[in-house]
Amino acid sequence: MERIRASLLFLVTVMSNHAASTPAALKLTPLNATHRGLAAKMVDFGGWDMPVNYGSQIEEHHAVRRGCGLFDVSHMLPLDIKGSNVRAFLKRLVANNVDKLQVSGKALYSCMLNEAGGVIDDLIIYFMDESWFRLVVNAGSAEKDLAWMEKMNADWGMGLTLTPRRDLAMIAIQGPNATQALNQALPGVDSITANLKPFNAAAMGEMFIARTGYTGEDGFEVMVLAKSAPFFWQALMEAGGQPIGLGARDTLRLEAGMNLYGQDMDETTSPLESGLAWTVDMKAERDFVGRAALEKSEITKQLVGLVLLDKGVLRGHQKVLTKNGDGEITSGSFSPTMEKSIALARIPLGIAPGQEVEVEIRDKKLRAKVVKYPFVRSGKVLIEI
Amino acid sequence: MNIPADLKYTPSHEWVRVEADGTLTVGITHHAQDLLGDMVFIENPAAGRALKKGEECAVVESVKAASDVYAPVAGEVIAANGDVESSPEAINKDAYSAWMFKLKPANAADVAELMDAAAYQKLVESEAH
């Protein structure tokens, strides 16, 4: 569990412990030397040595909303599933229905649930052809995901081949100028970017270009062979892309109202109480893992957005007091775009947008307004306070 | 490393300036703000509050994290910097001019227990390895 309030002493100790050198135990992306060359502040992010910022997190945040930002997301794991029954496997494995994927390159966001209906991970599934689907899973969940999928593959006698693609690097190019930057960095790619709709991908040899992201802006997530990644990154920077660390990645996704696995949902929470009901497809007669538990479950909570009305900063795990009982902030931070503190919070049902709640911050109870998220999309604030 | 020689320091990364009248001006060090990143919220102790040495008395919050600030010595708060509360980023720009609060020490001699610049520099270096 992330520690939210640390003394400066604690924070300084933790953060500078590997500022000077990279402990051998940390995993490195193919862009590690690139980040260090750019004087990034590196942190241990779930066992990966990753850039948290390259200077000012707030400036990086604005660069994505206003121009073009580059993110190294190579810690996430692309996973190819191949064989004759991939679609049938995924229809049982995940909560969303891959039958929504009928055109090659189309992507689907889904949760993978355990039998109790808790979220093992959230992931993106790309349909390439009937014998090849590509998944992208979270870095911190990759090993358990793979073990779970291999177990299901065996238990159900599917005989599929699951191949983790650690030979690939992934760079996200996000912001209103993302298309222009990608076109300039990769001559000839404009024939693909011109026709690629949101949540679709195209493969060109080992290069894989998806119009997806985690910022609420237009943009791409591009996979390339690991050895090519530093050159590609350099070309993107020359085309106007600005390096963005994990710090701004978090505030961007929070403003965009996108869940973060391990904070907004985990194995103990239901997707139906995590703002993810839209990703759980119960319409079709389909026996997916976790479905029976979800059908039996009683939903008592909801994920809502909060905007702090008083001065302070909302953070994960702060207690939310409502007239229907207590809830908890799952993700909270300062929104650079709104210049207010915002949060996602799991609170009792029956509290509607527009209503006020209180949040316990240290020894104070501060006022916050419940809002419907996302907070920001395509550079525009969607919330009126 | 930006560690002015004329200031005193604590192991918890506060800086302390001993003024001519014996009062203390307190802030957080350049090193601390560098690790915290962009500051967005400061909560200072109210004037008149009596503090014990090491007591949690203020909070600095960056986009990234919240951190407690501790009283360097026992004493009474005589002023809080409202300017830094309304512009927390001032700490990122110059941590040593963006003071947080002023303290009248209970015992003037306690100041001698604070670290000097050389000792604080050693502490920062030891934490980096």
- Render pLDDT for B8-56 as a digit per residue (tens, 0 to 9): 999 999 999 999 999 999 999 999 999 999 999 999 999 999 999 999 9
Residue A2 confidence (pLDDT) above 80: no
Which of B35, B37, B66 lies closest to A247 in CB terms?
A: B37
Summarize the confidence of residues A143-147 as an average pLDDT. Answer: 98
Which of A9, A52, A311 lies closest to B12 in CB terms?
A: A9
Summarize the confidence of residues A190-210 as an average pLDDT. Answer: 95
Summarize the confidence of residues B82-99 as an average pLDDT. Answer: 97
- Name the 3-class secondary structure at B68: strand
Measured between beta carbons, which residues in chain B are less than 8 angstroms from residue A313?
40-41, 61, 66
Which of A15, A315, A334 lies closest to B35 in CB terms?
A: A15
Residue A197 confidence (pLDDT) above 80: yes
A312/B43 CB distance under 8 A: yes
Measured between beta carbons, which residues in chain B are less than 8 angstroms from residue A336?
63
Structure confidence at residue A1 (pLDDT): 29
Residue A24 confidence (pLDDT) above 50: yes
d(CA B40, CA A98): 43
With 0-12 / 13-18 / 19 or more C-beta atoms within 10 angstroms meaning exposed / middle / buried, residue A293 is middle
pTM of the full structure? 0.93
Cα distances (angstroms) measured from residue B92 to each of A32, B35, B38: 26, 10, 7
The answer to whether A330 touches A316, Cβ cutoff 8 Å, is yes
Q: ipTM exceeding 0.95?
A: no
Structure confidence at residue A280 (pLDDT): 98
Is some CB atom of chain B closer than 8 A to the CB atom of A334? yes
Question: Nearest residue on chain B to A339, judged by CA atoms?
Answer: B40
pLDDT tens digits along A92-127 = 999 999 999 999 999 999 999 999 999 999 999 999
Residue A188 confidence (pLDDT) above 50: yes
> Which two structure tokens, joined as six digits, stand for A167?
């030979």
Summarize the confidence of residues A229-247 as an average pLDDT. Answer: 98
- Of the pLDDT bands very low, low, confident and very high (cuts 50, 70, 90), residue A213 is very high
A12/B31 CB distance under 8 A: yes
Is some CB atom of chain B closer than 8 A to the CB atom of A249? no
Place of tokens 């500078």: A16
The domain that contains B21 carries what CATH number?
A: 2.40.50.100
Structure confidence at residue A334 (pLDDT): 97
Measured between beta carbons, which residues in chain A are less than 8 angstroms from residue B12?
7-9
With 0-12 / 13-18 / 19 or more C-beta atoms within 10 angstroms meaning exposed / middle / buried, residue A159 is exposed
Measured between beta carbons, which residues in chain A are less than 8 angstroms from residue B35?
8, 11-12, 15-16
Look over chain A and give the mean of its residue pLDDT values, rounded to a whole number: 94
| Residue B46 identity (one-letter amino acid) | A
Q: Is there a domain that residue A338 lies in?
A: no
- Of the pLDDT bands very low, low, confident and very high (cuts 50, 70, 90), residue A23 is low
- Give A73→chain B minimum CA distance, Å: 19
Percent share of chain A, pLDDT over 90 = 91
Place of tokens 């009937």: A130
Question: Nearest residue on chain A to B128, judged by CA atoms?
Answer: A16
Measured between beta carbons, which residues in chain A are less than 8 angstroms from residue B127?
12-13, 16-17
Is some CB atom of chain B closer than 8 A to the CB atom of A275? no
Structure confidence at residue A304 (pLDDT): 98
The answer to whether A305 touches A322, Cβ cutoff 8 Å, is no
Q: Is there a domain that residue A220 lies in?
A: yes
Instruction: Check the CA dihedral A184-A186-A191-A195 and report its sign.
Output: negative
Q: Is there a domain that residue A342 lies in?
A: no
> Which two structure tokens, joined as six digits, stand for A318?
């702060």
Residues 64..93 of B with a Cβ closer than 8 Å to A: which? 64-70, 92
Q: Is there a domain that residue A205 lies in?
A: yes
Residues 276..315 of A with a Cβ closer than 8 Å to B: which? 311-313, 315
d(CA A81, CA A112): 15
d(CA B12, CA B91): 16
Alpha helices in B3-116 (DSSP H): 30-36, 82-86, 90-93
Residue A329 confidence (pLDDT) above 60: yes
- Of the pLDDT bands very low, low, confident and very high (cuts 50, 70, 90), residue A22 is low
Domain carrying residue A149: 55-244
Residue B116 confidence (pLDDT) above 60: yes
Structure confidence at residue A249 (pLDDT): 98
d(CA A117, CA A296): 10
Split into its structural domains, chain A has a count of 1
Cα distances (angstroms) measured from residue B36 to each of A41, A324, A362, B29, B39: 11, 36, 19, 11, 7
Structure confidence at residue A253 (pLDDT): 98
Residue A13 confidence (pLDDT) above 90: no
Q: For chain B, first and last CA: distance in Å?
A: 15
d(CA A186, CA B55): 57
Which of B35, B37, B41 lies closest to A12 in CB terms?
A: B35
d(CA A208, CA A70): 16
Structure confidence at residue B127 (pLDDT): 83
The phi and psi torsions of B46 (rounded to 5 degrees) equal -75, 145
Is some CB atom of chain A closer than 8 A to the CB atom of B8? no
B59/A315 CB distance under 8 A: no
Split into its structural domains, chain B has a count of 1
Summarize the confidence of residues A325-342 as an average pLDDT. Answer: 98
Is some CB atom of chain B closer than 8 A to the CB atom of A102? no
Is some CB atom of chain B closer than 8 A to the CB atom of A343? no
Summarize the confidence of residues A86-97 as an average pLDDT. Answer: 98
Cα distances (angstroms) measured from residue A27 to each of A10, A19, A44: 23, 15, 9
Residues 38..57 of A with a Cβ closer than 8 Å to B: which? 41, 52-53, 56-57
d(CA A108, CA A95): 11
Question: How many CB atoms sit inside 10 A of residue A281's CB?
Answer: 19
Domain carrying residue B85: 8-109+117-122
CA angle B115, B116, B119 (to 5 degrees): 75
- Name the 3-class secondary structure at A83: coil
Name the residue among A275, A277, A297 with its Cα closest to residue A353: A275
Question: How many CB atoms sit inside 10 A of residue A371's CB?
Answer: 20
pLDDT tens digits along A57-85 = 999 999 999 999 999 999 999 999 999 99
Residue A20 confidence (pLDDT) above 90: no
The answer to whether A32 touches A51, Cβ cutoff 8 Å, is no
d(CA A118, CA A294): 9
Q: Is there a domain that residue B128 lies in?
A: no
**Which runs of E-coded beta strand occur in B34-120?**
39-43, 50-51, 56-62, 66-70, 75-80, 101-105
Residue A202 confidence (pLDDT) above 50: yes
- Of the pLDDT bands very low, low, confident and very high (cuts 50, 70, 90), residue B128 is confident
The domain that contains A129 carries what CATH number?
A: 3.30.1360.120
> Which two structure tokens, joined as six digits, stand for A53?
């910022």
Is some CB atom of chain B closer than 8 A to the CB atom of A14? no
Summarize the confidence of residues A300-324 as an average pLDDT. Answer: 98
Which of B31, B36, B40 lies closest to A313 in CB terms?
A: B40
Distance of CA A247 to the CA centre of its chain: 13
Structure confidence at residue B31 (pLDDT): 96
Measured between beta carbons, which residues in chain A are less than 8 angstroms from residue B65?
4-6, 11
d(CA B4, CA B15): 9
The phi and psi torsions of A376 (rounded to 5 degrees) equal -140, 135
A334/B61 CB distance under 8 A: yes
B61/A12 CB distance under 8 A: no
Interface test with B, best of A12, A17, A21, A329 (most B CBs within 10 A): A12
d(CA A157, CA A131): 16
Q: Which residue has the higher pLDDT, A224 or A16?
A: A224
Interface test with A, best of B13, B35, B59 (most A CBs within 10 A): B35
- Secondary structure letter of residue B81 according to DSSP: -
Alpha helices in A32-188 (DSSP H): 32-37, 57-66, 86-93, 142-155, 178-185
